[in-house]
Chain A
Amino acid sequence: MTDQTSQAELVRQSLKRRYRKERRFRAYGVIAIAIALSALVILFADIIGKGSAGFMKTTLNLEVELDGEMMYLDDATDERQIKMADFVEPLIQALMKELPSASESDRSAVRDLINPYASVTLRDALKENPDWLNTSRSMTFLAHTDVDVFVKHAGDSAYSIKLTEQQRDWVNQLVEKGVVETSFNDTFFKNGDSRDPSKAGILGAMIGSLLTMVVTLALSFPIGVAAAIYLEEFAPQNKLTDFIEVNINNLAAVPSIIFGLLGLAVFINLFGMPRSVPVVGGLVLTLMTLPTIIISSRAAIKSVPPSIREAAEGIGASKMQVVLHHVLPLAMPGMLTGSIIGMAQALGETAPLLLIGMVAFIVDVPNGFFDSATVLPVQVFLWAGSPELAFIERASAAIMVLLTFLIGMNALAIWLRKRLERRW
């Protein structure tokens, strides 16, 4: 009796310690989750903090005097004259007018506030409207990248401002006058890559991603569904089927860069396909996403209850009719969900595309599946490697666009699953 009480006493005494341990263990779990979630929050905050300025551009609103004599141009419909004409001078003159404190000797300092691309804007405008010659027009031009950086990040020590004291003074005056303005950066969505950050955009990369994804989807969805149907419904129990399954499971875990090596050796070197084109990128990403799509499609087929098959077989449908008329439509929502997730993976993939040459610096927006192109994640990679902070800003902005697409795709997948998936 005493022995029992003393043991109960012992247990009771140890309880406090054990409960403390219990609480501590719980706290570890909470801390772990907090670490993971805070990493997520920091990551997002960092990207947004770095990139939100990339969605703004700095422009100059100038009243440009299109004086033909000054521009050495007397007929704006003449291609040759246009080519030879001076489109920088009117811009400098217009800006000088806004800066009473600038003297004639400051010309080059004033010119450095204007984006090199601005004269092209002016030339294109004049080409389109030849009658503008010898009139005065108020137009908007891109400011120089250094001005852009100064206006956006004047107080930020991380950014080195390349403007001189005098130039900063001018820019401040111009901002007060409303000549220098920041507005939504539509250039970012309308242009391809460029050496000049304020002119660089993601349209080329977005079209490249779109073309690559079209190839990937067009190939991987039908092939993946067909393979899943075969393995679930028709495959005999034999060594060959086992071998196929082992292969699919292993391919799902092969590092993506290996698929890049495969693409380089087979598609480019063996078949002689061109480098850095969306078709080859799409083929490589197809091979990479196929295992994901096959595995999720098989799960979807498996979840269709046998009663459906039995009912169809019972009224005389052939095996193929059972599958195509009954199982496939019922499994389709699950297959679609899996494919969207696979596509999202492919959209964010970078490494294999580096190896097949989609890292080239490409200014033009691709026109077709056989045009040189780059994709969004690779564009991020290219800009992230630049020493210029203005490009880093663009890279962050491009990441935000990429993440928006990915979150949209995943949300679509979740919505589809909730909306269409049936519980049996």
Chain B
Amino acid sequence: MQPANLFILTLALAVVAYGLGYARSRSLAMPMGGIRHLKSLPFYYGARAALWCGIPALLVLGLWVAFQGKVIQMLVIGSLPADMIPDSEGAASLLLSKISNVASGALPPAMVDGPIANAAERLQALRGQSRLYMNALVISVAVLAGFLGWLRIRPRLNARAQVETILKWIFFACAALAILTTVGIIFSVAFETFRFFQKISFIDFIFGSQWSPQTALRADQVAAEGAFGMIPLFTGTLLISFIAMVVAVPVGLLSAIYLSEYASKRVRSTVKPLLEMLAGIPTVVYGFFAALTVAPFISDLAASLGIEASSQSALAAGGVMGIMIIPFVSSLSDDVINAVPQTLRDGSLALGATQSETMKKVIFPAALPGIMGGILLAVSRAIGETMIVVMAAGLAANLTANPLETVTTVTVQIVTLLTGDQEFDSAKTLAAFALGAMLFLSTLLLNVVALKIVRKYREQYD
């Protein structure tokens, strides 16, 4: 049975357990004179039986599905003759994909060596066994635990309290998933980053000004070692983010000011959702627009002015990214401007200042820390933005500040290094995780600082 079907079966078993538990509590109560002699309502006895039946079984199912692939792989590799056991992780994954191709019938067994064909057979057998064991284990756990839960129903049992405690723990587990996700992120990037720095020195990575991640394909190849200096990537990211900010900050800020201070209610209620639409457009659409419309337009324009511009200029990617961030900046500044107390505004207007003077000399300085926080959040978003730059920025790591030239960014390199490449322990793929770690750390830092500023500012006026 497929895991999905088994999942549904387990749920069905839990429903059955609910019905049986409900019936048992009623039948226990009836001789005593009705359900008022039960400690809890029959519903809770049924729910308790269902939880007993479902939770352990689903836990077993989840763990089995999560780990069976890895365990089977290890068993298959272990069963190979000693001289065929691969020495590196890359060779292992290559061998495994060959074996699973044979097993799935994509590769006829006659075309591979005997041990591999045997291993493929073994893989098939193990998969079948694993599925069988999983079915047996999950169903027996569900039935057994459900039966125990059913058996222990007594009129004096406080089923409601038990059900509520279990539910509370489930709720807690859902909330704690956030911690687990963060830990998962940190571990998944930290582990590979650590392995990367065993191959490439940390100093070279941070301060190197050369990025060309071509490593030798074979061990004896004389080809270039590959340079992993992240400075050109970082400057490229900063250049594109800077261009994005040059577009987004003035436009976003001024439109927020206009909407909150000048616009009539009707204008505001039509313009605001339209601006927000910009935020709802998928980034791949912006990427498409940047790569196929804006970039050719910019290079044609530059050519007609006699300037040379790359067809994948930083200006195109940055400008379109700026458009994407406009609603982000404007809604954050809108919040901040509205949080400035009305008394400040009234006081300034009463002294005879015009609206723009009030804005520039009173409200803006008061809102400045909050706006700065918002801008920092926007910067962190620009740094982490992927699709626009993948589609519109180039791959060449140029160390330049000229917006008409091609630059590459951290996110572009992560995507290029990790798509298509199956091998997992080459310096190339590990470099992607090191870049991911840098990206995570820098955006985390920006977010923490920005949130702190925004929060502090809010408290000031609360």
Contact = CB atoms under 8 A, between A and B. Distances in A.
B284 interface: yes
Contacts of A348: 280-285
Contact of A28 (B4, B254, B287): B254
A260 B454 CA distance: 29
Contacts of B385: 255
Contacts of B184: 262, 266
Interface stretch (B30-38, B164-172, B307-315): B164-172
Contacts of A370: 2
A377 B282 contact: yes
Given A257-B415, A272-B69, A26 B274 contact: no
Contacts of B354: 18-19, 21-22
Interface stretch (A43-51, A122-130, A132-140, A415-423): A43-51
A395 B292 CA distance: 11
A413 B315 CA distance: 35
B153 interface: no
Interface string A358-375: 010000000011100000
Interface stretch (A85-93, A165-173, A399-407): A399-407
Given A25-B356, A381-B387, A39 B278 contact: yes
A258 B436 contact: yes
B418 A247 contact: no
A351 B288 CA distance: 14
Given A247-B179, A402-B282, A35 B443 contact: no
A189 B337 CA distance: 47
B396 to A, nearest CB: 17
A399 B255 CA distance: 28
A368 B388 CA distance: 31
Contact of A231 (B175, B252, B275): B175
B284 A350 contact: yes
B282 A29 contact: no
B377 A47 contact: no
Interface string B373-392: 00001001101111100110
A102 interface: no
Contacts of B303: none
Interface size class of B (residues with CB under 8 A): 35 or more
Interface in B247-282: 250-255, 257-259, 262, 271, 274-275, 277-278, 280-282
Contacts of B411: 255, 257, 351
B28 interface: no
B292 A384 contact: yes
Nearest to B66: A271
B326 interface: yes
Nearest to B323: A39
Contacts of A350: 282-284, 386-387
Instruction: Say whether chain A's binding surface is mostly helix, strand, loop, or mixed.
Output: helix
Contacts, number: 266
Nearest to B429: A264
Interface string A106-133: 0000000000000000000000000000
Contact of A32 (B168, B250, B274, B356): B250
A226 B414 CA distance: 34
A36 B67 contact: no
Interface in B137-193: 160, 164, 167-168, 170-172, 174-179, 181-182, 184-185, 187-189, 191-192
B433 A265 contact: yes
A290 B415 contact: no
A332 interface: no
B357 A18 contact: yes
A163 interface: no
B179 A234 contact: no
Contacts of A265: 187-189, 191-192, 433
A18 B316 CA distance: 38
A381 B448 contact: no
Nearest to A267: B66
B291 interface: yes
B70 interface: yes
A36 B181 CA distance: 36
A344 B279 CA distance: 11
B451 A40 contact: no
B250 A351 contact: no
A154 interface: no
Interface in B169-226: 170-172, 174-179, 181-182, 184-185, 187-189, 191-192
Nearest to A247: B178
Interface string A71-83: 0000000000000
Contacts of B280: 344, 348, 406, 410
12 contacts: A25-B356, A33-B275, A37-B271, A40-B278, A47-B288, A226-B174, A248-B178, A251-B181, A266-B184, A271-B70, A272-B70, A406-B280
The 3 A-B residue pairs whose C-beta atoms are closest, nearest first, are: A255-B384, A29-B258, A272-B69
Given A22-B357, A381-B287, 11 more contacts: A21-B357, A32-B251, A39-B326, A250-B182, A257-B415, A258-B440, A272-B72, A272-B73, A318-B160, A354-B418, A380-B285
